[in-house]
Structure 1
Amino acid sequence: MSEIKAETLTQVLSKILGTTIICADFQTKQLHGGTLGDVQLVTGIAITADGGKLPYRIVSKTQKKWERFSDPDSWRREYDFYKSNFGALFSESFRWPECYYAEMNEEENETQIWMEYIDGISGLDLTGDMYERAAEELGRFQGKVNAEQPAFFQNLTNLSNVEYMKSFYLHYRSWKKVYDYIRSDDCEIPKHLCKMLIDIDESADEIFSRIEKLPIVLCHRDFWVANIFYSDGKTILIDWDTTGWGYLGEDLASLIADEADIEHMVEYYRRCIPAYYKGFSEYADISHITDNCVYEMILLMFGYRLIEWYMNAGAGDKLQETDDESKLYIHTLQKIYEMRNEQ
């Protein structure tokens, strides 16, 4: 757990509370979020210069240097964003958490960001209407960035590459453990699901040629339910450390398939794609796009990952939990299989 420095805390609280804070007590609670990062909810009572007592709640996120596959500088990306004019791109209805203070420790290769705590509906508590709203807001945001092409992006050199999804897929496909498994006689996954993945492999070049005709947009690249919050009619998106250039619709694959609400996956697939295109089309004419490729993107990004998770679940010690997890991943693949009828 990262150290909370009293001097930094009082400096941050003075900014948030709009008055001079001379000291503050604090308690911390570990929060989920941040790849290999330390995310803590910090709460307590702040003492003002005139003796007043003010309660506070803030998030401290510390990120140490690490290298993500094909994206080595992602560990510092949120820091770079918060130090830029990136926040000006957001709207009242779609935004990220406000940052109160951010610092870089060059010697330790570590960033620390003090930001707003978001209290809202998230994860599997999101409703279908909230999914649809998030998709539309994301489309509107990406359309705005494409239309305006803000000049400060020229200085933001630390963005993941447009080829990231392709590199990610090819990396998984080259992993013999999963590649050979779905083709083996020992594979216990239903044959029609294995064939679904094998067909994608055999058509990958043609699929990527279609995807590469889509507009290039600024992708969040971790647009899944744990990072989406719905609060007071607004959509708030956290964890921007994988952000970079990608293809129209790429983020929808994560929204629909990444540890999502399995029973409603097909419904959300049906609802979210039109909502997303509606938002994007406020800034660009995309009526000529008849092939959104989202179904293929789901399989490219999550097909082999689900196989990996299934195989790892089978290696567990607790039989009941292992069996439940395995069924979960098969169920997810089955729902993806059913989406083909929505094309």
Structure 2
Amino acid sequence: MLDTTIRGADFQTKTLHGGTVGGVQLITGNAQTTDGRKLPYKIVLKTQKKWQRYSDPDSWRREYDFYKSNFGALFSESFRWPECYHAEMNEEENETQIWMEYIDGISGVDLTGDMYERAAEALGRFQGKLYAEQPAFLQNLTNLSKAEYMKNFYLHYRSWKRVYDYIRSDDCEIPKHLCSMLIDIDDSADEIINRIEKLPIVLCHRDFWVANLIHSNGKTILIDWDTAGWGYLGEDLASLIADEADVEHMVEYYRRCIPAYYKGFSEYADFSHITDNCVYEMILLMFGYRLVEWFMNAESGNKLQETDDEKTLHIQTLQKIYEIRNEPSPESP
């Protein structure tokens, strides 16, 4: 990282985020060089333990596999991931450790509409370039999620009687027109999936939401690549627009991000034959039942006010998706 020989370093750690199967720490301190200088540093350590994601069992080690490959060569200066300084696998513990660049920038709820739009365009450009050039080594990577992941994810949720039966029950607290929207998707699922499967297959991040986007000096840095793999054109936009959405601007970002995305993609590949982007349908396949689950789980909250606020947010998100349904399809820039 510092491009010189280090003989010692002090450090402090701070947990950034992570769950029961992994964690992310910011490590800061001063390193002593062999010629007596003290150099300040910041570095991120991501530790990931083995776990089983539904229909994607090797996702836990995918980011490690990517960093050990030549995957980083696919990025540009304006759209990239954090640089990796060191990655190692502990086979006995089934655990990876990745030491990577700390990115200082704007992320999450602080992202502006312009930053959303810029990220969508950069993503389209990245996917368009790979779609047009088809780099050989990418085709040979073995640990990539499959194109049918989104379909399997939806079918898995739909088969879960707890959420499936809830939106069809008389006791359901979700407004009826929103339940009908979800039921309509179920009734048309085969036809919708058939339309989606006619779209170009591109390399998707599959967790392309605001917490994984960092805007820094006009550039987009994208973290957490453990769900990445083959998917359909526009699939990542569903996450950008609807995953823990900025509800107030959700419809606006739908209008802005899709044309920006296609503008970036069109720099490398022709999309003129695409008349149906299916982003609205992808949003419902990926987040419809998840929002129902989150709404139902909020009922078990400890604090009444927090529970009500959470449930209201999920209803508002479903309402915005309902409003998106009536939006004209913003296919081209």
| TM band (smaller chain) | over 0.9
Write the distance in 1 (CA, Å) between the matches of 2:139 and 2:248. Answer: 42
Q: Pairwise mapping of residues 326-341 of structure 1 onto structure 2 (< 5 A)?
A: 326-341=311-326
Q: Is the contact made by 1:104 and 1:110 (CA closer than 8 Å) also made in structure 2?
A: yes
Picking from 37, 48, 68, the partner of 1:63 is: 48
- Calculate the TM-score normalised by the size of structure 2: 0.97
Instruction: Give the residue type in structure 2 aligned to 1:213.
Output: K
Write the distance in 2 (CA, Å) between the matches of 1:30 and 1:328. Answer: 27
Q: Pairwise mapping of residues 1-343 of structure 1 onto structure 2 (< 5 A)?
A: 16-33=1-18, 36-343=21-328
Write the distance in 2 (CA, Å) between the matches of 1:317 and 1:274. Answer: 42
CA displacement, residues 230-288 of structure 1 (integer Å, 9 cap, x when unaligned): 00010000000000000000000000000021100000000000000111111111011
Write the distance in 2 (CA, Å) between the matches of 1:245 and 1:173. Answer: 22
Instruction: Give the residue type in structure 1 aligned to 2:44.
Output: V
Instruction: Give the residue type in structure 2 aligned to 1:317.
Output: N
Mark the runs of 5 or more structure 1 residues left unpaired by the alignment.
Answer: 1-15
- Calculate the TM-score normalised by the size of structure 1: 0.94
Write the distance in 2 (CA, Å) between the matches of 1:40 and 1:220. Answer: 22
CA displacement, residues 17-73 of structure 1 (integer Å, 9 cap, x when unaligned): 111100101100001257831110000010111111111000001111111000000
Q: Is the contact made by 1:34 and 1:239 (CA closer than 8 Å) also made in structure 2?
A: no
Write the distance in 2 (CA, Å) between the matches of 1:35 and 1:157. Answer: 26
Instruction: Give the residue type in structure 1 aligned to 2:134.
Output: Q
Q: Percent identity?
A: 85
Q: 1:225 to 1:125 in 2, by over 3 A?
A: same
What is the total number of aligned residue pairs between the two structures?
Answer: 328
SS, match of residue 326 in structure 2: helix
SS, match of residue 342 in structure 1: coil
Instruction: Give the residue type in structure 1 aligned to 2:234.
Output: G
Write the distance in 2 (CA, Å) between the matches of 1:331 and 1:94. Answer: 32
How far is 1:95 from its partner?
A: 0.3
Instruction: Give the residue type in structure 1 aligned to 2:162.
Output: K
Greater mean deviation of Cα atoms: 151-160 or 299-308? 151-160
Q: 1:175 to 1:135 in 2, by over 3 A?
A: same
Write the distance in 2 (CA, Å) between the matches of 1:153 and 1:217. Answer: 11
**Structure 1 outlier segments of 4+, above 3 Å:** none
Q: Is the contact made by 1:42 and 1:59 (CA closer than 8 Å) also made in structure 2?
A: yes
Write the distance in 1 (CA, Å) between the matches of 2:113 and 2:61. Answer: 33
Q: Is the contact made by 2:21 and 2:50 (CA closer than 8 Å) also made in structure 1?
A: no
Q: Is the contact made by 1:216 and 1:246 (CA closer than 8 Å) also made in structure 2?
A: yes
Q: Is the contact made by 2:13 and 2:26 (CA closer than 8 Å) also made in structure 1?
A: yes
Q: Is the contact made by 1:218 and 1:243 (CA closer than 8 Å) also made in structure 2?
A: yes
Q: Is the contact made by 1:33 and 1:239 (CA closer than 8 Å) also made in structure 2?
A: no
Q: Which residue of 2 aligns with 1:3?
A: none
Write the distance in 2 (CA, Å) between the matches of 1:102 and 1:255. Answer: 28
How far is 1:153 from its partner?
A: 1.7
Instruction: Give the residue type in structure 2 aligned to 1:329.
Output: H
Write the distance in 2 (CA, Å) between the matches of 1:51 and 1:279. Answer: 48
Mark the runs of 5 or more structure 2 residues left unpaired by the alignment.
Answer: 329-333
Instruction: Give the residue type in structure 2 aligned to 1:131.
Output: Y
